[in-house]
Amino acid sequence: MTTRLTFLVCGSLTAALLASAGCNPPGATKSAKGDSTSAAARTFVAPGDKDEYYLFYSGGHSGQVYVAGIPSMRHISTIPVFAPYPATGYGFDEESKKMLGGFTWGDVHHPGLSQTDGKYDGRWLFVNDNANNRIARVDLRDFKTRQILGPIPNSSGNHGSSFVTENSEYVLVATRFSVPLPKGRFAEIADYKTEFNGMVSGIKVDPKSGEMAVGWQILTPPFNWDLGSTGKGPSSGWAFWTSYNSEMAHETLEANSTQGERDYAAIVNWRAAEQAVKDGKGTMMAGVAILDPAKVPGLMYFLAVPKSPHGIDTDPSGRWIAASGKLQPVTSVFDFEKIQKAIADRNFEGEVRGVPVLKHDAVIEGEVPVGLGPLHTQYDGKGNAYTSMYVESAVAKWSLPPWTDAQKKDLNTVILDKIPVHFNIGHLVIGGSDTKAPYGQYLVAMNKLSKGRHLGVGPSQPESSQLIDISGNKMTMLYEAYTEPEPHFAQILKADAISPIEVYPKAENTNPHAVWEATQAGVTRSGNKVDVKMVAIRSRFVPDTIEVKAGDEVTIHVTNVEQTTDMIHGLGIAEHDMNIVVDPGETKTMTFTAGKAGVYPFYCTNFCSALHQEMQGYLAVRP
Ligand code: RUQ
Ligand code: CUA
């Protein structure tokens, strides 16, 4: 009923997708005051108490990852990843500057937590940069970005990641955009179909250190790979991506890439890829072993999925794979057991560039009529799936197969509940949905629009994230929080799964430039290079006057000798565009060229004590 009504209100589905900002579902209420007392009680975390879960959510084109608590939805931390962030001095000290590699922005989409045996192990969070083809690792010991890999060779538009395999062997990534390869080669855009390629890459993760390196790559036709997920259980060793633009159009994609009734999903045997490279079946391109799926049978299969699919999500058992065609109101459920059988029986309906296309009818379990504009599906581990619907602004809860014959006859009957969200949901997240053991208590709906639900802030509006209780039969809306653009996807982690450190232990500081006593601090010069070893302690810098000459290359190593949690010192230098922030027990280095002659104040940028204001000094630059 809701589906039909919305359909009528919105005109056509495509029109609705395009103009969906103006199309809210009937029954979308402005507030939920009726239930507000019990909802408030369920999200209330008393001052001094702690949340039960972490929510790590993408900061989109801010290049950052935000951390909030669930159920309070309070923002706790911002982890800068792909962009400089003066608040923590990220991108100003030498180490993080080097990691950023000269880029000043990135586009974070899909955080992925590390796993051991198909469960979150609380070690790392991987995030992708869609814009500059990078992938980063955040260490959950200290919530700091520790590695940025990329730009990934032979790969453009790192959107289809970060999908972590069951034992964090790999973070799997696929390209949204196709380009002539290797990167840097010119080809006419008109020759898109023949000269451009996409790529699926296996980013190998060192099991001890988490250090990432490109393991192998699989060359693909120039489809636009979209979302993906990794297998487990029966689908262990496999990974799945949807695509749009199987038409291989290169202009006016909005129309030209939506011609076909179906687009291809890729089904990739990543263990076979690993083996094929070991067996020497790869060809080197830009330093990476590239596999051609036409020449390595068993590596990759295609599967036609209706109507420009977006999300593709493997359920906790690893058997069911839900893919949503955003231009049609159903989610297709595929059975991995049938996929295996179709592969064994060579039950194909053709091939594309040497890649077999699995017979759709042989592997589909059913099409669940969830509603309009379905995007992503998450699982609660109790046999239920939850699909976000962008056009309908709602989340549908439905039951996974196996279905009874009666249910199969009318899959409307597997839809258990629907809840409106505000508005135009993209991703949704349930803690552990991509693992064998989802938490199944909360769902966060990450909505693209929030119009009219908050105080006016001018034309640029925040996004909204809504917390929904999924512990009962019916979903209950609990809370609404506002976020910076743009929380694409998120991960939820049980708070007790990690215990982040509070200071960097002095004993672990191996930085050769660290100084722990005021007597060791000082300034040395060699030629026009000036080297400063500085101690920061409440509430002074030693030394607090530094004399240099205009044009000198100045390097300052600051050690924050505190061993007390939260005792952070910053070092900002006036008119030098420099600010680093040093955590307790940490040593950081800044390098800059001394500016014009003059005397420039520097000061501690983090309020650290009653005498924080006094924590200042001078950089004297002689002519
Ligand atoms: S996408 S709203 Cu970048 Cu994850 Cu689906
Ligand atoms: Cu140190 Cu303020």
Name 95's Cβ contacts closer than 8 Å, sequence gap at least 6.
Answer: 588, 589
Q: What is the mean pLDDT of residues 523-548?
A: 97
Ligand 1 atom closest to Cα of residue 488: 4
Indicate if the pLDDT at residue 544 is higher than 90.
Answer: yes
pLDDT tens by residue, 354-404? 999 999 999 999 999 999 999 999 999 999 999 999 999 999 999 999 999
pLDDT tens by residue, 266-292? 999 999 999 999 999 999 999 999 999
Q: Which pLDDT does position 308 carry in this prediction?
A: 87
Ligand 1 centroid vs 596 CA: distance in angstroms?
48
For ligand 1, atom 4, name the residue with the nearest CA.
488
Q: Which pLDDT does position 257 carry in this prediction?
A: 83
Name 257's Cβ contacts closer than 8 Å, sequence gap at least 6.
Answer: 224, 244, 245, 247, 249, 308
Q: What is the mean pLDDT of residues 604-615?
A: 96
Ligand closest in space to the Cα of 567 = 2
Ligand 1 centroid vs 340 CA: distance in angstroms?
28
489 lines ligand 1 (CB under 6 A): yes
615 lines ligand 2 (CB under 6 A): yes
> Would you say how long the chain is, in residues?
623
605 lines ligand 2 (CB under 6 A): no
User: What type of residue sits at position 586?
Assistant: E
Site to probe by mutation for ligand 1, drawn from 331, 425, 488 as the one with most ligand atoms within 8 Å of Cβ, is 488
- Cα R_g (the chain), whole angstroms: 26
Residue 279 contacts residue 255 (beta carbons within 8 Å): no
User: What type of residue sits at position 291?
Assistant: L
608 lines ligand 2 (CB under 6 A): yes
Indicate if the pLDDT at residue 12 is higher than 50.
Answer: no
| CA trace torsion 534, 537, 538, 540 (10° rounding) | -20
448 lines ligand 1 (CB under 6 A): no
Indicate if the pLDDT at residue 34 is higher than 70.
Answer: no
Average confidence score pLDDT of the chain: 94
Q: How far apart are CA 306 and CA 246, in angstroms?
A: 11
Ligand closest in space to the Cα of 570 = 2
Site to probe by mutation for ligand 1, drawn from 58, 388, 489 as the one with most ligand atoms within 8 Å of Cβ, is 489
Q: How many CB atoms lie within 10 A of CB 192?
A: 17
Q: The pTM is what?
A: 0.94
Name 435's Cβ contacts closer than 8 Å, sequence gap at least 6.
Answer: 115, 118, 119, 120, 232, 316
DSSP letter assigned to residue 266: E
427 lines ligand 1 (CB under 6 A): yes
For ligand 1, atom 3, name the residue with the nearest CA.
109
110 lines ligand 1 (CB under 6 A): yes
Q: How far apart are CA 522 and CA 533, in angstroms?
A: 5
Ligand 2 atom closest to Cα of residue 613: 2
Indicate if the pLDDT at residue 336 is higher than 70.
Answer: yes
Q: What is the mean pLDDT of residues 536-543?
A: 97
Q: How far apart are CA 445 and CA 394, in angstroms?
A: 9
- The structure tokens listed for 487 are 């929380």
176 lines ligand 1 (CB under 6 A): no
Q: Which pLDDT does position 316 carry in this prediction?
A: 98
Ligand 1 centroid vs 346 CA: distance in angstroms?
33
Ligand 1 atom closest to Cα of residue 426: 2
227 lines ligand 1 (CB under 6 A): yes
DSSP letter assigned to residue 181: S
Q: Which pLDDT does position 19 carry in this prediction?
A: 42
Q: Which pLDDT does position 327 carry in this prediction?
A: 87
Q: Beta partners for 615? A: none
Ligand 2 atom closest to Cα of residue 604: 2
Name 336's Cβ contacts closer than 8 Å, sequence gap at least 6.
Answer: 231, 234, 235, 238, 314, 318, 319, 320, 321
Indicate if the pLDDT at residue 11 is higher than 80.
Answer: no
Indicate if the pLDDT at residue 313 is higher than 60.
Answer: yes
The pLDDT confidence band at residue 37, using thresholds 50, 70 and 90, is confident
Q: Which pLDDT does position 255 carry in this prediction?
A: 86
The pLDDT confidence band at residue 423, using thresholds 50, 70 and 90, is very high
Q: Which pLDDT does position 369 carry in this prediction?
A: 97
Q: How far apart are CA 72 and CA 241, in angstroms?
A: 33
Name 335's Cβ contacts closer than 8 Å, sequence gap at least 6.
Answer: 319, 320, 321, 363, 364, 365, 401
Nearest CA-CA partner of 44 in 491, 478, 490, 463: 478
Q: What is the mean pLDDT of residues 410-421?
A: 98
For ligand 2, atom 1, name the residue with the nearest CA.
569
Q: Which pLDDT does position 3 carry in this prediction?
A: 37
The pLDDT confidence band at residue 480, using thresholds 50, 70 and 90, is very high
Q: Which pLDDT does position 33 carry in this prediction?
A: 55
pLDDT tens by residue, 559-581? 999 999 999 999 999 999 999 99
61 lines ligand 1 (CB under 6 A): no
Ligand 1 atom closest to Cα of residue 376: 5
pLDDT tens by residue, 54-113? 999 999 999 999 999 999 999 999 999 999 999 999 999 999 999 999 999 999 999 999
User: Euclidean distance between the first and final Cα of the chain, in Å?
Assistant: 78
Ligand 2 atom closest to Cα of residue 607: 2
The least confident of 150-159, 255-264, 579-588 is 255-264
